[in-house]
Amino acid sequence: MRDALLAKLSSDRAVRTDELLEATPLARSAENVAVVEALLLLSPEAERRETGWALAGRRREDRLLRAIREYADGSGKRIFRLSAALEGFPTHELPTADELSDLLPGDEFKLLPNGMIKRVKN
């Protein structure tokens, strides 16, 4: 069942849990939704996003974007410092301003002056 769930995930778009449940032989119920979410939470290949589940990225860019999303979700701040979101990253992996402007999805985040990021949507 885990393989069927991971096959439905994409790194570009988050998939809702109820859509993933359709890929399993389980009936639609609150308990089975919890089973699907538990499997995905325990799978290092999957990550929780704001609107659902997606494949966890392994590339540097994916790790950077995941850290920014997790910081924005965890802190609840709409405007925050890039350095706060990426404080666990080694210096050689930090993005340049040009890389960051290419990396950030414009419909989700906006790069502000002085190393600040604004969350555009909640």
User: Helix (H, G, I), strand (E, B), or coil: what is residue 14?
Assistant: coil
Cα–Cα distance between 19 and 68 in angstroms, integer? 26
pLDDT value, residue 113: 86
The token duo for 84 is 């706060």
Which amino acid does the sequence have at 40? L
Q: Which residues contact 55 (CB under 8 A, 6 or more apart)?
A: 6, 9, 10, 11, 45, 46, 47
Whether the Cβ atoms of residue 103 and residue 59 lie closer than 8 Å to each other: no
Q: What is the pLDDT of residues 90-122, one digit of tens each?
A: 888 888 888 888 888 888 899 998 889 999 876
**This model's pTM is above 0.85:** no
Q: What is the pLDDT of residues 55-99, one digit of tens each?
A: 876 677 878 888 898 899 999 999 999 999 999 888 888 888 888
